[in-house]
Amino acid sequence: MSSTHRTAHRPRAASGTSSEASYDRRRLHQWLAGQARADGVARRDVLRLLAAAGLASAVPVGLGAPKASAASGIVKPLPAERFIIRGTNAETRFESLAGTGPLTPASHFFVRNHTATPRLDAAEWTLRVWGDGLKAGAREFTLADLRALPSVSRTAFVECAGNGRSLFATQQGQEVSGTAWTLGAIGAARWRGARLSDVLRRAGLSRHAVDVMPRGLDADYLTVDGTNLGRVRRPLPLAKALDDVILAYEMNGGPLPPDHGHPVRVIAPSWVGIASIKWVGDIEVSATPLYSPWNTDFYRLYGEAYPQEGSAPLTRQTLKSVFELPLNARLSAHSRHRLTGRAWSGAGAIARVDVSTDDGATWHRARLHDTPRPDTWTRWSHPWRPGTPGPVTLLSRATDTRGRTQPEATVHNTQGYLFDAVVRHAVTVVP
Ligand SMILES: Nc1nc2c(c(=O)[nH]1)N[C@H]1C(S)=C(S)[C@@H](COP(=O)(O)O)O[C@H]1N2
Ligand SMILES: [Mo]
């Protein structure tokens, strides 16, 4: 699996991807050799965390939550028909996306907060770019500085690496740790902002730079045993940073909402959600590989199928297709239904979606409603006229332009990342 989700989808990205791969190998090597700086994390702690790879326990404690709609620490309203609250996070009910169009409105967009949404003043906000990967000293940018740079707009999904995690248990009978998302830890939006590459060049990027590490302005993240992991931050290889990453200040044509990173967030298209750091306050540019708990103990694949030290840090998202239907929906027999859903892949565009209404005995090609594009999802539909009343399992299976097809099962990893198996969606046909 690790080889497929790391595959480039555009020729332009190909060289970047191979340098990402060699960079990861080098970084892993250095880390194992004990040469690396584990920024804010003692090597001893990293090893302890690795040993404990069941890490379910990393939850924030002791935070004074700002004014928010609930104890969740999230600011926007979270009506029950749209969201399922999971601790500090809010999952979108996938069925509530029916009719929302290709872009997810902020009112429906899932929220993944390690702590709580901070309230930041855009007029006072600055971005500090610093580190030994710059030719000279640190540079600060205001929001006006970013707005004065050429702007780019692009549609991209943000999907948590753990989206679909609870299906390891419900579909495969396997134990995993982490937020028990079903399939709604994803949204797609139109982002507008400055290119990270423009900002780095203006800051005086040196040719020795290898990693950049954006860091959020939200509170430090503490594990239950009281270990302070510091602010949410994760290194990006320079190849990705210079390729298609943006510093977004708009979402779907409006200012970025507080819960989604106001005033500025990173958008790393097609990569796991953690790469898209919200409320970014500084970016370290480094001439040596950087580490944080978010690329050492979290966001790698651990488990029987993986090396002891885990897979390389996760990069691209995997592939999924999901029905816009509640679990155990009731559908009347002998009437015509239009089953709708969405499919997406982190490695390319969607090539086809197949649907089965007879537990996989026969498959039918679904109709695609969008021109499939990389970095975002494609809506699809399939007409269905159920016969006899009773329980039915609906299946959908996406294939992308890289030739990846959803498998019957996902290889287990202890933290339940990158679930990509065909979803078995139970419904009941009623008289
Ligand atoms: N500063 C900061 N950035 C963050 C996070 C966070 O808790 N703090 N969560 C990350 C994770 S794990 C995901 S999946 C995405 C979620 O983005 P969203 O809340 O806008 O949907 O933001 C990422 N960026
Ligand atoms: Mo995430």
Nearest CA to ligand 1 atom 24: 277
Residues with CB under 5 A from ligand 2 (ion): 112, 160, 273-274
Nearest CA to ligand 1 atom 1: 216
Going from the Cα of 51 to the center of ligand 1, the distance in angstroms, rounded, reads 25
Edge-to-edge strand list for the sheet holding 364-365:
329-332, 423-430, 390-400, 350-356, 364-365
d(CA 155, CA 161): 19
| Beta-carbon contacts of residue 385 (< 8 Å; ≥ 6 apart) | 334, 335, 336, 337
Going from the Cα of 327 to the center of ligand 2, the distance in angstroms, rounded, reads 23
Residue 51: Cβ within 10 Å count: 10
Nearest CA to ligand 1 atom 15: 273
The residues with which 58 forms a beta bridge, in sequence order, are none
Residues with CB under 6 A from ligand 1: 109-114, 158, 160, 216, 218, 232, 260, 273-274, 276-279
Q: Taking Cα atoms as reference points, which of 53, 163, 21 lies closest to residue 413?
A: 53
Going from the Cα of 170 to the center of ligand 2, the distance in angstroms, rounded, reads 20
Is the Cβ–Cβ distance between 212 and 235 less than 8 Å?
yes
CA atoms within 13 Å, Cβ hemisphere of 107: 5
Specify the pLDDT at position 71: 66
Specify the pLDDT at position 305: 97
Nearest CA to ligand 1 atom 19: 111
pLDDT 10s per residue in the chain (431 long)? 333 333 322 223 333 344 444 444 444 444 444 433 333 444 444 333 333 333 323 333 323 333 344 468 999 999 999 999 999 999 999 999 999 999 999 999 999 999 999 999 999 999 999 999 999 999 999 999 999 999 999 999 999 999 999 999 999 999 999 999 999 999 999 999 999 999 999 999 999 999 999 999 999 999 878 899 999 999 999 999 999 999 999 999 999 999 999 999 999 999 999 999 999 999 999 999 999 999 998 999 999 999 999 999 999 999 999 999 999 999 999 999 999 999 999 999 999 999 999 999 999 999 999 999 999 999 999 999 999 999 999 999 999 999 999 999 999 999 999 999 999 999 999 99
48 membership: H or E segment, kind and range: helix 43-51
Is the Cβ–Cβ distance between 247 and 151 less than 8 Å?
no
* DSSP one-letter string for 353-403: EEEESSTTSS-EEPEE-S---TTS-EEEEEEE---SSEEEEEEEEEEETTS
Mutate to test the pocket of ligand 1, among 112, 265, 419 (most ligand atoms within 8 A of CB): 112
Is the Cβ–Cβ distance between 317 and 345 less than 8 Å?
yes
Tokens of 342: 């969405």
d(CA 253, CA 261): 15
Nearest CA to ligand 1 atom 11: 274
Mutate to test the pocket of ligand 1, among 276, 282, 292 (most ligand atoms within 8 A of CB): 276
Domains along the chain with CATH numbers: 64-292 (3.90.420.10), 319-430 (2.60.40.650)
Atom of ligand 1 nearest to the CA of 115: 7
Nearest CA to ligand 1 atom 23: 274
- Residue 322: burial class (beta carbons within 10 Å; 0-12, 13-18, 19+): buried
Atom of ligand 1 nearest to the CA of 218: 1
Mutate to test the pocket of ligand 1, among 274, 314, 318 (most ligand atoms within 8 A of CB): 274
Ligand nearest the Cα atom of residue 415: 2
Atom of ligand 1 nearest to the CA of 187: 21
